[in-house]
Structure 1
Amino acid sequence: MHNGFYYGVAVLVGAVVGVIGAAFHLGVEWLSAAWPAYLSGDLGLTGAPLYLAAALIGASMAVASLFLVRRFAPEAGGSGVPEIEGAMEGLREVRWHRVLPVKFVGGLLALSSGMVLGREGPTIHMGASVAKAAADLTKMTSQDMRGLLAAGGAAGLAAAFNAPLAAVLFVIEETRRQFPYSARTYIGVVLASFFAAVVTQMFTGDIPYMRLAVDTLPLALLPAFAGLGLILGVVGTFFNRTLIWSLDHVRALGQRSSFYLFPLGVGLIVGVLMFALPEATQGGELLAVQLAQEHRTVLALALIVLLRFVMTMASYATGVAGGIFAPILALATTIGLCYGAALEFVLPLPDRMEVVLAIAAMGGLFAATIGAPLVGMVLVMELTGAYTALMPVMLTTITANMVALWLGNRPIYEILLERTLAMEAKARQATRTADPARPPARLDDGAAAGGGIDNTLRG
């Protein structure tokens, strides 16, 4: 295939992903605001009737999202990033014709219900699906297809966060084992990310999604950020291990009773929390900015940290379509603010240092959980526009990553992919044992990789 043709396909993929990503972003923003406004405004509900109606709507949206995943595209559950990495290794298959609609509609319902999930996972998965469709239509070779998958995924991240540079680095750092590096595939990733960001900005503007203004801090305060990185390395390790524990236990619950029981319960809870305690719901990008501009007490921030941690685990374990980038960033922001509020009891801090701590915490927790410190640094810069905080962000991020590695933590997507493949192998063995004459079963288990619900075995 001629380089020019490949680059043209990459540009087209980026532009299409930009349109889909912007539509998904705007759709989630509209629906997540529309149904609460309808209940409290148009219907005028208050008190118990309001909470009951909100619980029913939240539960309905959660169950509907899971139904779409389980019925039409099991691999669309969770974030989808492990599925893409598996496809780039030749271990999974991107069935774009079913992933695209299920990921869009299912993700729209799940995120708008109030679940603590991010839109970046679905957008990355949809981006790779667009790339797979283009590769199929143009009959690309296996290597070119793998490179285009990476380009589509990067375009999805660029569209989700308006962060094209972080998207390119995500491919280089996160998929370094799978990416078929060459000048052509690398340029394709850059082109797709660039044009996805251009199209996204046409719809949503070019202002950073989590814009936060900060001043340059004295270098003498950098040890405080090393301490923050130490804490986040421990938190990130605990986060990953708790997430896997949650997936396993919710899956076991689904096998014993109903696969819809746990999502039903989570939907009921988040529906109520949308009115009772909105800080414990949704992806949290706007919440992170809001909290950074307020001055809440240590106890109030600690409560938000606890609630968002629990709700992130519960939401992701349902197996609906949704990512964890945004919840990680919002959780990190709250931890950084809590750390800053605690420091003020010990020593006086410069004005707005707590905001710098919040920004640095985003990179730190991202590096500790995802295992991509360079992406974490650049993503935080692009999201907040706080380039004067670069030094504190770098120190916090690399310290958190070092601590997580020292504790034996591994990148969460790597763990999730291995979990999916192990479950698939176990399912095939069970099929052979039960009926030796039957073809081996395949576990199309996106929820195994990204959620906790076991899905249908297909022979």
Structure 2
Amino acid sequence: MKKLLANWRDSSWLASSSLDTRYALIEACLIGLFSALAAVLLKQGIGWLGGWRIQTANLYGAKIVLPLVGLILGTLAGVVIELLSPSAAGGGIPQVKAALAKYPIVLNLRTALIKTVATILIIGGGFTLGRRGPTVHIGAALGAQVSRWIPNSPTNRRQMIAAGAAAGLAAGFNTPIAGVLFVVEELMRDISGLTLETAIAASFTGAVVSRILGSADLNVPLAVLNSTRRGSFAVQEIPFYIILGILAGILGGIFNRSIIKGMKFSRGLPLPVPLRIGLAGLISGIIGAWLPPFFHDNAGLRELLIVGQFTWQTTVLIFVAQFCLVILAYSAGAPGGLFSPALVLGSALGYLVGIVEVALIGSESPYTFALAGMGAFFTAVVRVPITAIVIIFEMTADFNLVLPLMITSAVAYIVAESVSQGSLYEHLLLASGIELTEEHPQNDFMNQLTADDVMQSRVETLASNLALPEVIKTMSRSHHRGFPVLEEGKLVGIITQSDIPQDSKQTESSLLKDVMTSKPITVCPQNSLADVLYLLNRYQLSRLPVTQGSKLLGIITLSDIIKAEAKQLNCDHQPQARFEPSYVVYQTRSPAIGKGRILLPIANPKNIAPLLEIAGAIALYNQYEIECVAVICVPQHLHPAQAEVETDNYRQLMKGLETWGEKSAIAVHTQIRVATDVSEAILETIGREHIDLLIMGWKGKSTRIESIFSNLVDSLIQQAPCDLMLVKLGASAHAFPKELHLRHKWLIPTTGGDRIKKLLTILPALATLDSIPPKLQLCQVSPPDRTQLPAGDFHKAAELLRKAMKCPVMLLPISAYSVSETIVNLTKRRKYGLVILGASNEGLLQNVVKGNIPEAIARQANSTVIIFRSSGR
């Protein structure tokens, strides 16, 4: 029976696997259909817009129309890409290569549509780029979208993207075999059965549909081929083919290097992307207007070069102009490809070598050299010799070209690798921070993401001295099934439901530390997800604490990893505007001996003293460290790492803060960052340094109408993942400790004990700033139409404060409609030294984000006001 069941399971699995394969082939055919339709639409759109441009130039003059059209259409294409789909920029092959290597590159229907529109605008506007590279990108994006619409298996998504890329190339060149080889040789380097089957199905469908809807002829017209074909390959021509390969390799390597340097130069210009592309279009139009008329529309240049319609002088001019204009357009980030330009450059170079060969040996035509040069230069740029050979062969169906193509392509590949190692696409990815190596050609996100990226930083913890009945009660109220156990702020164990004893008597008499798992397995925030998953599987765990030393930073569970994997596979996130990461130009570190960390941004050095006193009091009370950060803001077009800034004044200030920390027995860390956005830099620091509390000062007025506190403060209130304390100093004193000494009455609007608990991390610490214990006034503002005020939580809050603060606590219930007006009037009349907001659930905490009540109180009150926002940990 067991053997029968095993055979049944095997046959069931085989049937399911076969069904998945058939399903994937059907999906690949559908992707090929869509890719072909997109390729035809792209070809027709470019033809129509390019025809309109030439007609307009003939009517009104090329020297006016061509530069103006290049500027307008180039800028428009850049705007469309930047606003609607930044992932559609560039040629597209690097993005597809990175997506197939499992990098989180956005590939979807939006990318395909925007890429199509932008490419039509660019190539139709006169940019010297090709449409075949974009068709590969469009096909891959359609493949990714179809795999979402009709999913057959998450593991097959890469094959669907690759199939779309193959279909795009096949539809663009009418070369289905080359489409498959390009995927295998350049994009995936995978020859598994499913990869080949889906790529073949998609390429075949794309080529057939494109042939039916586009043109019945081959890419190089048969009339051209028939008029130029001659005898078979001759041995005496081999040296000239070798020379052609050497020239193609050298010039192709220089071409690649020039594009990389051009892109670096373009990105360094203080111009937005649309204007950079528009400027490239303007320059291309100016140059094109002064070239011969046949260059105004270079769609047929390759065929004219093959049949030998030009003199050698004109051919040299074509090569030089095409070489420079392609570098100009591609470096600007215009959406266009390099396949067709490489073929044109190769045909021109081959034709020139063929002319020399005809003059020296006396052959009939340089036709073979022009076609062999196409394959050689294509190889030198893209570094795919087999694909280059097959593309030219499929375009011509001439067997006499096989040996010349093999010689020139092989030589060109070897020489090009000596001039500039690696394909252009690899260099473009490296410039974007994506490195694909032979040892690790695919980016497994499990090795790229760390525990810090995925962990939950808001963790429910339990104290080690809790009685087990209290632990059971807490577990029953929470949806979590495991809790880290802390003792004096340090992780000492972990407790799960399975650790609770079944014996009720033992439960009643035991503490949490008696039954917890001591010295639990932990991970550091820098550990990769692969390491985390290994530990979870190795020890059959469902969660792991993330620690730095003995400090608990967060917790990571299996569900967190599953969510990260799903997000990575789907790539459903929409592109968002991102600032350049900040750059640290100065940093000092003290021993990391604290249980937590306070971040104190240094905005105005003149007002740092009172904020530093507050931070110091909280740090001493809670055994925290203080991280002081100064952010120097530079314009957004500058890269922070390359900006020249003056740091001498901040360095002196930081040294003074270090000295203060040594005298105060507080670990003080300092750093100076250069950034394009201050709030982004502070948020980055919070994440990197694992900040528990952010303390900021506020002047008491907003700089812009649409902001509540200020643009910076509003952004941090909404996004900071830690506790946040906003301080507005009172009008009667410049130093916070002095004001507490003069008037030590505190006002705390609240509604209950749960809100007060969150404030107990800062209130006892603030009380140490004055030798006289403060007098606390708890205020509860309720609408007058309520017949009876709920007093239970109010009295509970007072009792909690008395125990924690050991000072008088008075209750003040008030009936009023306006919370802010009541508290402001109360503050002015009774002259409170400190007002603390953030302990109420009657709109105060919510309005920190939505804005009116806390801002109104802080702005109008003469007292010092602290707005405290808990992270909810």
- The normalised TM-score by structure 1 is 0.87
Q: Look up the equivalent residue of 1:403 and give its one-letter code.
A: V
Alignment of 1:66-77 (within 5 A): 66-77=78-89
C-alpha deviation, 1:7, in angstroms: 0.9
CA 1:281–1:314: 2 relative to 1, 3 Å: farther
Indicate the SS of the match to 1:93. coil
Q: Look up the equivalent residue of 1:244 and give its one-letter code.
A: I
Q: Look up the equivalent residue of 1:291 and give its one-letter code.
A: L
1:186 is aligned, of 174, 184, 196, to 196
Q: Which residue in 2 is equivalent to 1:222? A: 238
Contact kept? 2:262, 2:328, Cα under 8 Å: yes
Q: Which residue in 2 is equivalent to 1:167? A: 179
1:307 is aligned, of 321, 330, 341, to 321
Query: Matched residues in 2 for 1:126 and 1:279: separation?
Result: 30
**Mean Cα displacement is larger for which, 266-275 or 236-245?**
266-275
Query: Matched residues in 2 for 1:163 and 1:422: separation?
Result: 30
1:55 is aligned, of 59, 67, 77, to 67
Count residues with an aligned counterpart. 428
Alignment of 1:2-401 (within 5 A): 2-40=20-58, 44-46=59-61, 50-177=62-189, 179=190, 181-211=191-221, 212-213=224-225, 214-215=229-230, 216-253=232-269, 256-273=270-287, 275-277=289-291, 278=293, 280=295, 284=298, 286-345=300-359, 347-352=360-365, 354-401=366-413
Query: Matched residues in 2 for 1:184 and 1:258: separation?
Result: 43
CA 1:222–1:7: 2 relative to 1, 3 Å: same
Query: Matched residues in 1 for 2:287 and 2:418: separation?
Result: 37
C-alpha deviation, 1:263, in angstroms: 2.5
Identity %, equivalent residues = 26
Indicate the SS of the match to 1:369. helix
Q: Look up the equivalent residue of 1:9 and give its one-letter code.
A: E
2:419 is aligned, of 407, 416, 440, to 407
Indicate the SS of the match to 2:347. helix
Q: Look up the equivalent residue of 2:238 and give its one-letter code.
A: L
**Higher helix proportion:** 1
Q: Look up the equivalent residue of 2:27 and give its one-letter code.
A: V
Contact kept? 2:87, 2:105, Cα under 8 Å: no
Contact kept? 1:281, 1:308, Cα under 8 Å: no
Deviations along 1:166-201, one digit per CA (max 9) or x if unpaired, are 000001111244x4x431221011000000011001
CA 1:70–1:438: 2 relative to 1, 3 Å: farther
CA 1:259–1:127: 2 relative to 1, 3 Å: closer
Indicate the SS of the match to 1:413. helix
Deviations along 1:42-70, one digit per CA (max 9) or x if unpaired, are xx334xxx421332122111111111111
Query: Matched residues in 2 for 1:140 and 1:310: separation?
Result: 46
Query: Matched residues in 1 for 2:271 and 2:183: separation?
Result: 39
**Mean Cα displacement is larger for which, 215-224 or 152-161?**
215-224
Contact kept? 1:246, 1:317, Cα under 8 Å: yes
Indicate the SS of the match to 1:104. helix
Determine whether 1:436 maps to 2:716: no
Indicate the SS of the match to 1:207. coil
C-alpha deviation, 1:391, in angstroms: 1.1
CA 1:439–1:117: 2 relative to 1, 3 Å: farther
C-alpha deviation, 1:89, in angstroms: 1.2
**Mean Cα displacement is larger for which, 219-228 or 10-19?**
219-228
C-alpha deviation, 1:162, in angstroms: 0.7
Q: Look up the equivalent residue of 1:435 and give its one-letter code.
A: L
Indicate the SS of the match to 1:351. coil
Aligned-residue CA RMSD in angstroms?
2.5
Query: Matched residues in 2 for 1:171 and 1:140: separation?
Result: 21
In structure 1, list runs of 5 or more residues that go unmatched.
441-458
**Mean Cα displacement is larger for which, 160-169 or 63-72?**
63-72
CA 1:117–1:281: 2 relative to 1, 3 Å: farther
Indicate the SS of the match to 1:143. helix
CA 1:55–1:84: 2 relative to 1, 3 Å: same
Which has the bigger relative contact order, CA under 8 A and spacing at least 6?
Answer: 1
Deviations along 1:321-372, one digit per CA (max 9) or x if unpaired, are 1111101110111111122234445x133111x1111100111111111110
Contact kept? 1:236, 1:369, Cα under 8 Å: yes
C-alpha deviation, 1:273, in angstroms: 5.0
CA 1:10–1:438: 2 relative to 1, 3 Å: farther
C-alpha deviation, 1:141, in angstroms: 3.5
Indicate the SS of the match to 1:396. helix
Contact kept? 2:254, 2:419, Cα under 8 Å: no
Contact kept? 2:31, 2:142, Cα under 8 Å: yes
Query: Matched residues in 1 for 2:420 and 2:332: separation?
Result: 27
**Higher strand proportion:** 2
C-alpha deviation, 1:302, in angstroms: 1.5
Q: Look up the equivalent residue of 2:103 and give its one-letter code.
A: L
Query: Matched residues in 1 for 2:320 and 2:432: separation?
Result: 28
Q: Which residue in 1 is equivalent to 2:787? A: none
Indicate the SS of the match to 1:14. helix
Larger Rg: 2
C-alpha deviation, 1:268, in angstroms: 2.1
Query: Matched residues in 1 for 2:686 and 2:151: separation?
Result: 32
CA 1:365–1:438: 2 relative to 1, 3 Å: farther
C-alpha deviation, 1:14, in angstroms: 0.5
Contact kept? 1:370, 1:412, Cα under 8 Å: yes
Query: Matched residues in 1 for 2:355 and 2:233: separation?
Result: 17
**Mean Cα displacement is larger for which, 258-267 or 407-416?**
258-267
C-alpha deviation, 1:245, in angstroms: 0.5
Q: Look up the equivalent residue of 1:77 and give its one-letter code.
A: A
Query: Matched residues in 2 for 1:92 and 1:367: separation?
Result: 28
- The normalised TM-score by structure 2 is 0.47
C-alpha deviation, 1:243, in angstroms: 0.7
CA 1:239–1:434: 2 relative to 1, 3 Å: farther
Deviations along 1:78-124, one digit per CA (max 9) or x if unpaired, are 11111111111111323313211210100000010111111011111
In structure 2, list runs of 5 or more residues that go unmatched.
1-18, 436-576, 584-674, 689-718, 720-873
Contact kept? 2:77, 2:274, Cα under 8 Å: no
Contact kept? 2:273, 2:333, Cα under 8 Å: no
Q: Look up the equivalent residue of 1:35 and give its one-letter code.
A: R
Contact kept? 1:116, 1:280, Cα under 8 Å: no
